[in-house]
Structure 1
Amino acid sequence: MKDKKPRVAIQGIRASFHEEAAFIHFGEDIQTIECSSFKQTFEALQNKEADYVVMAIENSIAGSILPNYSLMMSYNFPVVGEVYLPIQLHLLALPGVKFEDVKYVTSHPIAIRQCIDFFDEYPHLKVVESSDTAACAKRIREEELTDTVAIANTLAAKLYGLDIMERRIESNKKNFTRFLILTHHENVEKKDIDKASLCFQVSNQVGALAKVLQIFAEQNINMSKIQSMPVLGKRNEYNFYVDVEWDNTKQYDTAIRQVLKYTHNFNILGEYQRHEDEFVQNEREQKFRAQEKITRKYINVKKIVK
C-alpha cells in the first residue's frame, strides 16, 4: 500500500470538511472515495473499496455525533488516528452576485447551527438544509444560482470557482471538529501511541463508574472525554465511550488491567497518537498554567497553616 495512494472514504464530496481533515492526516496525495452517508463509508471499508475512513465524531458547538459511536461498535474497525480541524465557515456565491440579491442560504444542518448569530442579523434569508457543505457549493456552480449562497470552506470556494462573499460567519471563532481515522486491522501500526478510545459497561450500582475513573486518576491517565449511550433494548444499561491520554505507557497498561476487573463488554476501539495542532496545544498550555496556579496557591496556603 506504500506504493499507491491511500483510498480514503469520506461522508460527502470533494472539498468538504471531511476531505480537508483527510488532507491534514494523509497529505493531499490521496484518492478520495465520496460517500452519501457515514454508514456508506464503513461499507466501503468493509468491501475493501477504501483503505481508510475519516469520520467526524464531535464538534465544539454542536456536540457529539452519537450515531457514529454506534457505527464504530457495529463494524469494529480500529481507530488509528484523529484530526482536530478548526472550522471556518464562509458565505460563497457565484462571481458578481450581490448580497441584496440573495434569498436563500444552503448548507449542512450542523454548519447552519454554527452560524446562528449571522442568521439573527439577516432574518429575511431563507435557510435550506442539505446533506453536505461542499455539495451546496457545487450545486450553486452547476445550476448557476444567483439568488442562493452556500456556507462552506475555502477549499470548496477554490474547487467550484465561487467568490467568498462574507468570511468567518461562524458564531464561535474557536469552533473545531474532531475527526477519527479508521482502517482495517491489518493496517494498524502501534507506533508512538499516547491516546486510546475505549468502550465499556459497568454494573448498575452506586460508585461503579467512579471506581473506574479513580483508577485512571491514580495512574495519572487523563480522561479527555466521556460519552454515555443507552444499550439498545436494555433498561438502565449504558455504554460509556471514553478517550484517555497518557505520557507513561506502563501506567496506561496498568490502568487497563485494573479497569477490566470493574467493567464488562470492554473494548479498545483504538490506540493512536493524539493530534495536537496549534489550537489544541494552546488549550493544553492554558490548562497547565491554570493547574500550576492552583498548585502554587495550595502550597502557599499550606505554608501559612504551618
Structure 2
Amino acid sequence: MKSEKPRVAIQGIRASFHEEAAFRFFGEDIITVECNSFKQTFDVLKAGKADYVVMAIENSIAGSILPNYSLMLSYSFPVVGEVYLPIQLHLMALPGVKFEQIKTVTSHPIAIRQCGDFLDEYPDLRVVESSDTAACAKRIRDEKLTDTVAIANTLAAKLYDLEILERRIESNKKNFTRFLILTTHENAKVNNPDKASLCFQVSNEVGALAKVLNIFAEQGINMSKIQSMPVLGKPSEYNFYVDVEWEDNKKYDQSIKQILKYTHNFNIMGEYRRHEEEGISLRERPKTDSNKKKYIEVKKLSTLK
C-alpha cells in the first residue's frame, strides 16, 4: 500500500539544506528520498519512487544553478511551488571537543566560500571540500573524529548528535537559496497560482526580446527573473527562462496569448503560488496543517483516473 506521506526526492542526504527546504514546504511529516545528484532526483520521480522533487535553482550570492534549468527542460516535470530558505551556517563537532583540538574543517565548497571571513581568522586549519554539508556532519559522528569540524545547518547538528561550537559563521547574513518544488503532471494542480516559470526562444533580430518584455510591462505583469542559456548545438540561439508574477489572472492569460506571436518553443514550466517576501526578510509559509490540506487535495486529484 502506498504511503500517505509525500515522498520527496532531494539531492544529498538527510539534514541537508534540501531537506530543510522540503520541511518548510511540506512540513516534517514526509519521507525523504536521498539522491546522489540532481539528475537522480528526476529519475526517481520519473520511476514513481518519489512524489516530488525539491531542487535548488539559485542563491542570492552564488547566482543561478544553470545545469538545473537544463534538467527541468529535459524532463518536463511541472513546477508547483517554491521556497526561499535562509542559509545559516554553523561550526559543529562531537560533544566535548574543544576548539583548540580542531585541525580540519570540512563542508561543501560553496558553504566554505560563504564562510571565508571566519576561516581567514584561523589560517592553520586545514580546509577539506566535500559533496554535501550534512554528509560532513554524519562522517564526524560515524568515524568519531575529534580533530575535525563540519560547517552545516542546525538540522545536521541535531540529527547527527553534534555540538555547535560557533553559530552563524557565514560572511553574509542575508544569504538565501531559492528551491523549486516539482512533481508529475498528474499531481500538478495548484489553486490560484500567481507566479509562473516560462521558457522560450525568440528570433535572432533586433528588438525581438524587447517585444516580449514590453508585453509583460503593458499588462502589468512583474518579471522577477530572466536567465538566458545557449541552445545546445545551435550557435547564436538561446533559451530564455523567465519568472513572472501577477495579481490579475486575466492579464497574465492575455500576456501569454500575445507573446506566443513573438516566440517559439514556448513552454510553461509551472504555475504556482509565490513565496511571499517582506522587505529583505521572508514570511514563513503557511503552517503545516494548511500544507497538509493542499497535499491531500493534490492526492485526491491524482486518484481520479
TM-score surpassing 0.5? yes
| Deviation of 1:283 (Å) | 3.5
Distance 1:284 1:92, change over 3 A: closer
SS at match of 1:71: helix
What residue ranges of structure 2 are gaps of 5+ in the alignment? 283-305
User: May I ask how many residue pairs the two structures share in their alignment?
Assistant: 282
Residue aligning to 2:97? 97
**Pick from 264, 278, 282: which aligns with 1:281?**
278
Partner AA of 1:241 in structure 2: Y
Residue aligning to 1:8? 8
Worse-superposed segment, 1-10 or 188-197: 1-10
| Deviation of 1:96 (Å) | 1.4
Map residues 257-272 of structure 1 onto 2, 5 A cutoff: 257-272=257-272
Could you tell me whether the CA contact under 8 Å between 1:84 and 1:178 is conserved in 2?
A: yes
Residue aligning to 1:235? 235
Distance 1:3 1:100, change over 3 A: closer
Residue aligning to 2:110? 110
Q: Does 1:135 align with 2:135?
A: yes
Residue aligning to 1:72? 72
| Deviation of 1:123 (Å) | 1.9
Deviations for 1:173-194, whole angstroms, at most 9, x for unmatched residues? 0101000000000001130200
| Deviation of 1:112 (Å) | 1.4
Radius of gyration: which is bigger? 1
| Deviation of 1:203 (Å) | 1.0
| Deviation of 1:3 (Å) | 6.8
Map residues 104-253 of structure 1 onto 2, 5 A cutoff: 104-253=104-253
Computed over aligned residues only, the root mean square deviation of the Cα atoms, in angstroms, reads: 1.5
SS at match of 1:32: strand
Residue aligning to 2:287? none
Could you tell me whether the CA contact under 8 Å between 1:62 and 1:114 is conserved in 2?
A: no
For 2:124 and 2:222, locate their aligned partners in 1 and report how far apart those are by CA, in whole Å: 47
| Deviation of 1:281 (Å) | 1.5
Distance 1:113 1:160, change over 3 A: same
Distance 1:257 1:284, change over 3 A: farther
Q: Does 1:27 align with 2:27?
A: yes
SS at match of 1:266: strand
Residue aligning to 1:46? 46
Could you tell me whether the CA contact under 8 Å between 1:219 and 1:252 is conserved in 2?
A: yes
Deviations for 1:255-285, whole angstroms, at most 9, x for unmatched residues? 1111111111111000000012xxx222499
Partner AA of 2:174 in structure 1: K
SS at match of 2:34: strand
Deviations for 1:2-46, whole angstroms, at most 9, x for unmatched residues? 970000000011111101100111111100000011011000000
Partner AA of 1:211 in structure 2: K
Distance 1:185 1:122, change over 3 A: same
SS at match of 2:25: helix
SS at match of 1:247: coil
For 2:174 and 2:221, locate their aligned partners in 1 and report how far apart those are by CA, in whole Å: 26
Deviations for 1:77-123, whole angstroms, at most 9, x for unmatched residues? 00000000011000011111121221211111121121121122222
Partner AA of 2:35 in structure 1: C
Could you tell me whether the CA contact under 8 Å between 1:62 and 1:113 is conserved in 2?
A: no
Residue aligning to 2:81? 81
SS at match of 1:124: coil
Partner AA of 1:41 in structure 2: T
Partner AA of 1:281 in structure 2: E
Partner AA of 2:238 in structure 1: Y
SS at match of 1:50: coil
| Deviation of 1:226 (Å) | 0.6
SS at match of 2:193: coil
Deviations for 1:42-73, whole angstroms, at most 9, x for unmatched residues? 00000000000000001111111111001001
For 1:151 and 1:239, locate their aligned partners in 2 and report how far apart those are by CA, in whole Å: 36
For 1:224 and 1:213, locate their aligned partners in 2 and report how far apart those are by CA, in whole Å: 12
Map residues 291-302 of structure 1 onto 2, 5 A cutoff: none
Partner AA of 2:118 in structure 1: F
Partner AA of 2:48 in structure 1: K
